[in-house]
Amino acid sequence: MPQGTITKALSGYYYVLPEGAELAAANTITCRGRGVFKNRNITPLVGDRVMYEETENGEGTVTEILPRTSELIRPPIANVNLVVLVFSVTEPVLNLQLLDKFLVHIENTGIDVLLCFTKSDLLTADSDASGAKDMTVAELERITKLYEGIGYTIQKTSSKLHEGVESILQHLDGTVSVFAGQSGVGKSSLLNEMISGLNLETNAISQRLGRGKHTTRHVELMPLTNGGLVADTPGFSQLDFMEVEAEGLGDCFREFAAIAEGCRFRGCLHLHEPDCKVRDCVADGTIAASRYDHYLLFLAEIKDRKRRY
């Protein structure tokens, strides 16, 4: 039975690229999933390696989903090597709480992550800052130093000035990657720069709401010139913690994980327990207060979820 990869899922159809074929719409086979998938509450995902059988009308049926190496729930995609987490420095302004929430979800999957800060051409010089929504050069440098110190790779880009695109492409060389992030941060604009002739729809930011419209409505893998595959995904501004447990939240903060081994109690939640090394590091500035504050917010959200369910 032939094998392939789901490159797009839309309205109950799965577009399967046969193994060894070049990624192009003309080469994909339009398939339906077996009824047994629905009965077992299994959903084939973009990125899934599958077995399929062709039908008489030239279409096909996905008969088996092969084991996954990774899986993301939001965005729904499988077998990804790298998540490019895209946040703009302004319009909408960089939201560190939301950034940390995305990072928790990605760390929980074990997939590598690259932070991409877009719209760097809109940075404001320190002397020109006129309000809380202005991101200054110095503030972005502080944020960059913080997250690089934690261990994240950061790339700044500007689609308007055509800056940073080649560097992003080098990180994506030979990988299956997904672009994720809040709506209106420039994911589609960046992909348009990276893939010639792509022309994904882009929309301006709503000045009243401070966020963009969803210009991407489904997940789809697209080929890069370096042999990699990349997926643009629908933007969103809210995430829940259905997949993250309270006991595992600290492990999703990279700088907590190693230090927590020195806590007196195994499974320390870093709240009020005595001899908590994580709280000691927050007190002496080794761990950023903003990261710990976000940890506490997320922990409360997880506990509240448990009470409600």
| 31 annotated binding-site participant | no
116 is in an annotated binding site: no
Q: What are phi and psi of 146, to 5 degrees?
A: -60, -50
Residue 267 CB neighbours (<10 A): 11
Distance CA 185, CA 119 (A): 8
Q: Is 134 annotated as a binding residue?
A: no
Report d(CA 281, CA 256) in Å as an integer.
9
| 127 marked as part of a ligand binding site | no
C-alpha span between 267 and 258 (Å, rounded): 13
Residue 306: strand pairing partners: none
CA distance 17 to 143: 41
Q: Does the annotation place 281 within a ligand binding site?
A: no
Residue 121 labelled as part of a binding site: yes
Residue 119 annotated as part of some ligand binding site: yes
CB-based contact 83:113 (threshold 8 Å)? yes
CA distance 169 to 148: 20
263 is in an annotated binding site: yes
Which element (helix H / strand E) includes 280?
Answer: helix 277-283
The answer to whether 155 is a known ligand-binding residue is no
Question: Known binder of ligand: residue 186?
Answer: yes
> Does 183 carry a binding-site annotation?
yes
Q: Is 270 annotated as a binding residue?
A: yes
35 is in an annotated binding site: no
Residue 42 CA to residue 63 CA, distance in Å, equals 12
State the DSSP H helix or E strand holding residue 109, giving kind and residue range, or none if neither.
helix 96-109
Kindly state the tokens that stand for 80: 């990804």
| 258 vs 255: CA distance, rounded Å | 7
Confirm or deny that 184 is annotated as ligand binding.
yes
Residue 252 marked as a ligand binder:
no
Residue stretches of the annotated binding site:
118-121, 181-189, 263, 268, 270, 276
Residue stretches of the annotated binding site for Zn(2+):
263, 268, 270, 276
Residue stretches of the annotated binding site for GTP:
118-121, 181-189
